[in-house]
């Protein structure tokens, strides 16, 4: 009789991620994971003390997946920040369960917006924005904060509702927010100088 396949931590996280992606975080249980791995719950709970620990590991995987998704510049909207904003909204539409898990699960409890802006994972976004808008790091954070809150509103609506998608309208709105924020910051009304 062949030996049973060894269940690894990575296998457990991958299955938990898949469950969250397809069915939502509430469906992540030791039993559901073990059923998909065709094993008992013992190997699952051997690697992780609790199901919450599995969810934390799955959160890290989901966060990395989300970062890669939004930084994908394949679809070019002529402005890297607009592309990132549109990718964020598309992520919410295409990966509703992952979006809810990442951004609507109280993961940021006790944090402030400035705390979020100091996350190391956002540094590549700020670098792109600094180059695109010719602004300082602090100005890039301020612009990003405004854009993020606006894009997050659209993303939340699409993640939680079946709505008609109007890409041209969203692009127009995001451009207004981007250029409007730059205008206020620089006091320049000529878009070519921004």
Instruction: Say if residue 192's pLDDT is above 80.
Output: no
Predicted pLDDT of residue 188: 59
Instruction: Confirm whether 102 is domain-assigned.
Output: yes
What's the whole-model pTM score? 0.85
Both 81 and 165 in a single domain? yes
| Boundary of a domain, candidates 61, 80, 113 | 61
Return d(Cα 88, Cα 93) in angstroms, integer.
9
Instruction: Confirm whether 77 is domain-assigned.
Output: yes
Instruction: Confirm whether 112 is domain-assigned.
Output: yes
| Boundary of a domain, candidates 30, 61, 92 | 61
Residues 6 or more apart in contact with residue 44 via CB below 8 angstroms: 7, 12, 30, 33, 34, 37, 54
The tens digit of pLDDT for each residue in 89-102 reads 999 999 999 999 99
CATH number, domain containing residue 55: 1.10.10.60
Q: What is the DSSP letter of 78?
A: S
Both 87 and 123 in a single domain? yes
Both 38 and 76 in a single domain? no
The tens digit of pLDDT for each residue in 120-144 reads 878 888 888 888 888 999 998 998 8
Both 47 and 96 in a single domain? no
Both 13 and 91 in a single domain? no
């Amino acid at each position: 009789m062949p030996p049973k396949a060894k269940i690894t931590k990575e296998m457990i996280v991958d299955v938990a991620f898949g469950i969250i992606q397809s069915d939502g975080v509430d469906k992540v249980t030791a039993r559901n994971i073990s059923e998909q791995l065709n094993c008992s719950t013992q190997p699952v709970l051997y690697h992780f003390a609790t199901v919450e620990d599995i969810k934390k590991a799955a959160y890290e995987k989901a966060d990395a997946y989300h970062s890669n998704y939004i930084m994908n510049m394949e679809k070019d909207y002529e402005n890297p920040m607009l592309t990132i904003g549109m990718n964020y909204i598309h992520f919410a539409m295409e990966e509703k369960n992952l979006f809810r898990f990442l951004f609507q699960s109280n993961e940021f409890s006790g944090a402030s917006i400035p705390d979020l802006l100091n996350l190391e994972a956002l540094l590549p976004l700020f670098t792109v924005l600094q180059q695109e808008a010719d602004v300082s790091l602090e100005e890039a954070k301020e612009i990003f904060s405004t854009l993020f809150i606006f894009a997050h509103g659209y993303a939340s609506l699409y993640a939680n509702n079946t709505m008609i998608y109007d890409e041209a309208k969203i692009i127009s709105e995001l451009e207004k927010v981007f250029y409007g924020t730059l205008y206020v910051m620089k006091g320049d009304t000529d878009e070519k100088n921004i």
